[in-house]
Amino acid sequence: MSLQSGSFGTITFAVPEVLKIAVQQTSGYVEIPIINGFSRVHWISDELDRIKVDFKFSSMPGVGYNTSAKARLDLLRAEKGSTTPKALTIAGENFGNYLVKSINWEVISQAGTMKPIVVTAQVEFLANPI
């Protein structure tokens, strides 16, 4: 039985690593104010889809799915700023091609060592329609 629940390009994620997924899909409407009247709504275009995924990477002894929390985070951080979209697949569903827009993370380290044992990260992926 595989623990893989998703991937981003060549980076794969195990079941315990994906904590939460939030998808935002919006329409590109703008409000145009009218003097002495009600504002009008005008459609410009569909906005890009955004997916936020919360991850938890662990280097704790006895956790077999991961050996280095920092290494897993570094793989995702290396993707921020990349202009090459990659396929985002979660739980067998291909969401399409995405880029990493932002990463927020927290590190819990062993007392006195500053060696990360648990890293929680929220990664925002931005759809690339090309």
As a whole number of angstroms, the distance between CA 108 and CA 31 comes to 44
Q: For residue 1, what pLDDT band results from cuts at 50, 70 and 90?
A: very low
Which parts of the chain fold into alpha helices (H)? 69-79
Query: In this structure, what CATH number is given to the domain that contains residue 109?
Result: 2.40.30.200
For the segment 25-65, what is each residue's pLDDT rounded down to a tens digit?
Answer: 777 888 899 999 899 988 888 788 888 888 777 766 555 45
Asked if 118 and 57 count as a contact pair (C-beta separation under 8 A), the reply is: yes
CA separation for the pair 119, 38 (Å, rounded): 50
Cα–Cα distances in angstroms (integers) from residue 47 to residues 43, 60, 71, in the given order:
11, 40, 33
Instruction: Domain count for the chain, please give it.
Output: 1
Cβ of 127: how many Cβ atoms within 10 Å?
20
| For residues 2-16, average pLDDT | 69
Query: Looking at the predicted structure, is the pLDDT value of residue 101 above 70?
Result: yes
Domain hosting 10: range is 4-127
3-state SS class at 16? helix
For the whole model, what pTM was predicted? 0.67
Amino acid at 13: F
DSSP structure class, residue 15? G
